[in-house]
Amino acid sequence: MSERHRLRSLGTFVLLNGLIPIRTQPLYLVNLLASPLSFMFFLTVVSHGVLLRWGITGGLILTMLSAGTGLQSDLTHYRHDLKFQDIVVASPVEAPVYVLGMALSELVYSLPGLAVFVVLFVADGLASPLSLAVLTGVLLLVWGFATALAFTLATYFQDVRETFMFSPLISLVLTVLPPVYYPLAYLPGWAQVVARFSPTTYAAALVQGAVHLAPLSTASAALDWGVLGAVTAALFLVAAFKARWKEP
């Protein structure tokens, strides 16, 4: 497949799974907005406004994470119920093009959420060239590792119902337990250690540091980028070698 063909395929997947479904069900657009906004609302009310900024940065991370992990139910449904993956496998489309195309299509659903949180981010004075650059990099890495994880899992699930079980677990491990919506210091010592096993802890620390919500030394920032990059690379490798594009 030439580069031109690959681009056509990518565009087709965005249209097929992103833009066209919205035509039949516009509510898809607010679907990914609901959870991050709820978290932010809840934290802001309970903390009398103190955690609003944490809610905004957390909301941005959760929105991108959901855009990635949301892929698992779509891919599982298409693979099992419609045999769509089999149709794609028996075609010139390569697995990375399929995954990237479908991942970009999921991003379409997260655009309203991103727009809302970016507006809040700017309106609350959190935006600066540095914070925007850090935010962009972090969100891309979060989206990347979530997509790789979702694709790998989707090729193992035997039924779409399994994704209903895994989604809340992933959400718990990657967004609720780690300090995405609140300072790491709020957690007891042992929980801070446990939180270090979640890549979103590092993502949140980078964004929170860039907007001066939490202190972040250069060494810590380097470590956070390193861990986040390594986790993303590792999950891409797992997707490349362990995902079942062709069934065993």
Partner 1 sequence: MEPAIVARDVTKVYPGSRSGAPALDGLSLEVPAGGVYGLIGRNGAGKTTFIRIAATQLEATSGSLTVLGHSVRGEERAIRSRIACVPQESRPLYFLRTEEVVYLYLKMRGLPTDEARRRTNAALEELSLVEYRKRLVNRLSGGLRRRTLCAMVLASDADVMFLDEPTTGLDPIARREVWQAVRRASREQRTILLTTHYLDEAEALSGRLALVERGKRVLEGTAVELRGRVRYPYRVTIWGAVPREELDSYGKVSPIEGGFLVFASEEHARELARWALERNLRLSLGPVSLEDIFLEVVGRPIEEETPLADDTNGAEAEA
The least CB distance from residue 108 to partner 1, in Å, is 14
Distances (CA, A) of 137 to 132, 153, 241: 9, 24, 25
Q: State the Cα–Cα distance between residues 55 and 202, nearest whole angstrom.
A: 16
Tell me whether residue 5 or residue 161 sits nearer to partner 1 (CB atom).
5
Q: Which residues bind partner 1 (CB under 8 A)?
A: 1-2, 4-6, 8-9, 11-13, 15-17, 20-21, 23-25, 78, 81-84, 86-94, 158, 246-248
The least CB distance from residue 29 to partner 1, in Å, is 14
Cβ–Cβ under 8 Å, residues 87 and 127: no
Tell me whether residue 219 or residue 247 sits nearer to partner 1 (CB atom).
247
Tell me whether residue 2 or residue 217 sits nearer to partner 1 (CB atom).
2
The least CB distance from residue 226 to partner 1, in Å, is 34
Tell me whether residue 87 or residue 193 sits nearer to partner 1 (CB atom).
87
Tell me whether residue 16 or residue 187 sits nearer to partner 1 (CB atom).
16
The least CB distance from residue 21 to partner 1, in Å, is 5
Cβ–Cβ under 8 Å, residues 108 and 73: no
The least CB distance from residue 6 to partner 1, in Å, is 7
Residue type present at position 119: V
Exposure on the CB side of residue 119, measured as CA atoms within 13 A: 6
For the residues of 179-234, what is the DSSP string, one character each? TTSS-GGGS-HHHHHHHTTSHHHHHHHHHHHHTTSS---HHHHHHHHHHHHHHHHH
